Amino acid sequence: MMEKIEVDQYSIWLGPAATSLGKVLESFPTARLFILTDDHTHICCLPLIESALKDRDYQVCQIRPGEPFKVITTAISIWQDMTSAGLDRHSMVINLGGGVIGDMGGFCAATYKRGIKFIQVPTTLLSQVDASIGGKLGIDFDGYKNHIGVFQSPLAVLIDPVFLDTLSDRELRSGYAEVIKHSLIADGGHWPVLTQIHDLRHADWHSIIRRSLEVKRKIVIADPYEKGIRKLLNFGHTLGHAIESHFLQSGMPLLHGEAIAAGMIYEARLSVRYGGLTTGQLINISNYIEILFGPPPQVELVDLLPVLRQDKKNKGVQISFSLLEDIGKSKWDVLLNESDIQF
């Protein structure tokens, strides 16, 4: 089944990726293609779209996978390969991979020769429901996540649930954290359905992804540059990003969704004090997240403060949170002093 979901400046195709890629490329018959992969997607995912690339002029750039490589040195190597390939402003980048590939590949495309077209083909659940939508692009810098970046819309986003079969259980679970987040901030009616899902391998991903996409689509259309309501998407991420950065630097990295799951538990606790969430709702949220992810990792606030102080949403010395008022209802720009933050 193929669905086409319109966002403000581009389309999201939900269905077989080779089919949708072929349809998109029909409008660009002479464009030289540059396909960015990592070690995993080069082997497991590229063959699934190659039928759409026959008789096309394309080059594949393969980088090492994972957040530790979403840095300026990798971006430089990608720009060098783009230059060596002779890409011009009519060329096109196809980012085939998870959030790291999408963020960094889109950033490199948006800055190469002041911007060339790019297509996002997200291959992880995390990137399919979150990172590939909304035009946020960038790299990590000096230990801070997404510290350098731009807003730029892709030509199209192609989402195919078949790619989820290439993921480990841990990667699949990591992506599901963003599905949970979308329900908690703006789709309370879906929460009872999600809490019945314990076996992620046999979930109905097409319908889950479709529902999650709709939440983010509405928010991004209403606020493309994160001036207001789009900040709701940061629920779980203020503390979650700090937790992710802390464990990355400690040599015991967490996956993004694992850190966000912990961030959602901690920020749900803050929501009881500053958002309006009830204690019963907190228990409901925490219990479900812990069933899937286990208890949140133990970390001291003092270890997170250096990252929290650099958060892009902050206003002066106050740290900005998006917190829950109810399951399915949330608010943004809740400004807290460091002394207000308690786990």
For 282-306, what is the mean pLDDT? 95
Question: 36: which DSSP letter?
Answer: E
Only one residue has tokens 């989402």, namely 159
Of 140, 222, 223, 231, whose CA–CA distance to 185 is shortest? 231
Give the residue from 140, 166, 192 where a domain finishes: 166
Active site residue 234: yes
pTM of the model: 0.89
Catalytic residue from among 40, 145, 173, 178: 178
Do strands 136-141 and 117-122 pair parallel, antiparallel, or not at all (unpaired)? unpaired
Whether 297 and 246 map to the same domain: the answer is yes
Whether 194 and 327 map to the same domain: the answer is yes
Q: Which pLDDT score is estimated for 252? A: 86
Q: Indicate if the pLDDT at residue 249 is higher than 70.
A: yes
> 258 with 289: CB under 8 angstroms?
no
Whether 235 and 140 map to the same domain: the answer is no
Whether 298 and 190 map to the same domain: the answer is yes
Active site residue 90: no
Q: Indicate if the pLDDT at residue 312 is higher than 90.
A: no
Q: Indicate if the pLDDT at residue 319 is higher than 90.
A: yes
Active site residue 244: no
Q: Indicate if the pLDDT at residue 230 is higher than 80.
A: yes
251's torsion region: left (phi>0), alpha (psi -120 to 50) or beta?
A: left
**Percent of the chain, pLDDT > 70?**
99
Whether 240 and 307 map to the same domain: the answer is yes
Indicate the average pLDDT of the chain: 95
Q: Which two tokens stand for residue 154?
A: 């892709």
Which residue range is the domain that position 41 belongs to? 3-166
Q: What is the CATH number of the domain that holds 213?
A: 1.20.1090.10
Whether 133 and 184 map to the same domain: the answer is no
Whether 9 and 87 map to the same domain: the answer is yes
Whether 11 and 158 map to the same domain: the answer is yes
With cut-offs at 50, 70 and 90, classify the pLDDT of residue 316: confident
Q: What is the CATH number of the domain that holds 13?
A: 3.40.50.1970
Catalytic residue from among 171, 226, 244, 267: 226
Convert the pLDDT of each residue in 269-292 to its tens digit: 999 999 999 999 999 999 999 999
With cut-offs at 50, 70 and 90, classify the pLDDT of residue 180: very high
Length of the chain: 343
Catalytic residue from among 237, 246, 269, 331: 237
Whether 63 and 160 map to the same domain: the answer is yes
Q: How many CA atoms lie within 13 A of 327 on its CB side?
A: 19
Q: Which pLDDT score is estimated for 254? A: 94
Catalytic residue from among 67, 234, 246, 331: 234
Give the residue from 117, 142, 166 where a domain finishes: 166
Q: Indicate if the pLDDT at residue 332 is higher than 90.
A: yes
Catalytic residue from among 70, 230, 231, 331: 230
Whether 152 and 136 map to the same domain: the answer is yes
Q: Which pLDDT score is estimated for 100? A: 94
Active site residue 216: yes
Catalytic residue from among 70, 241, 246, 331: 241
Low-confidence winner among 19-23, 66-70, 156-160, 311-315 (lowest mean pLDDT) = 311-315
Whether 174 and 156 map to the same domain: the answer is no
- Coil vs helix vs strand at 149: strand
With cut-offs at 50, 70 and 90, classify the pLDDT of residue 131: low
Give the residue from 166, 197, 217 where a domain finishes: 166
Q: Indicate if the pLDDT at residue 313 is higher than 90.
A: no
